[in-house]
Amino acid sequence: MSPSVFRESVPVGGILYLTATVVYTEPAPAGGSRVQIRVDSKVRDVHHSSLRNTGTFTYTFDTEEEFKVLPKTYGEFVSYIDARRKAEAERSWADTSDDVPDTLEASVVE
């Protein structure tokens, strides 16, 4: 999961627009699908009516359902390839990390 850090600040009173897109899917290790979702954020400054890109975030989820998403346009294909590279990097990191808990309960520290 990428950090959720905005490239530009979101001013108080600004209107934040978030657009989520499923950009990549693959079979999940425990069955179902692993889904990568890209969220693009833009902010509208109500005083100047300007619209600025403030960030792009990637989130990965496992679902119980099996499904596949394939790109239809060149822009979707570029996003698909980028998401596939991120998924491969996450897999290689998870394969080499011994400190990753297997369950949520195992990650809780009291």
Instruction: Count up the domains in the chain and report the number.
Output: 1
In a domain, 52, yes or no: yes
pLDDT value at residue 19: 95
pLDDT value at residue 38: 93
In a domain, 105, yes or no: no
Q: How far apart are CA 49 and CA 52, in angstroms?
A: 10
pLDDT value at residue 2: 56
In a domain, 108, yes or no: no
Kindly report, residue by residue over 41-87, the tens digit of the pLDDT: 999 988 878 888 988 888 888 999 998 999 999 999 999 999 999 88
Mean pLDDT, all residues of the chain: 83
pLDDT value at residue 7: 80
Residue 23 sits in which domain range?
A: 15-97
In a domain, 107, yes or no: no
**Which of 79, 12, 76, 10 has its CA nearest to residue 42?**
10
In a domain, 78, yes or no: yes
The model's pTM: 0.71
Work out the end-to-end distance of the chain between its first and last CA atoms, rounded to an integer number of angstroms: 24
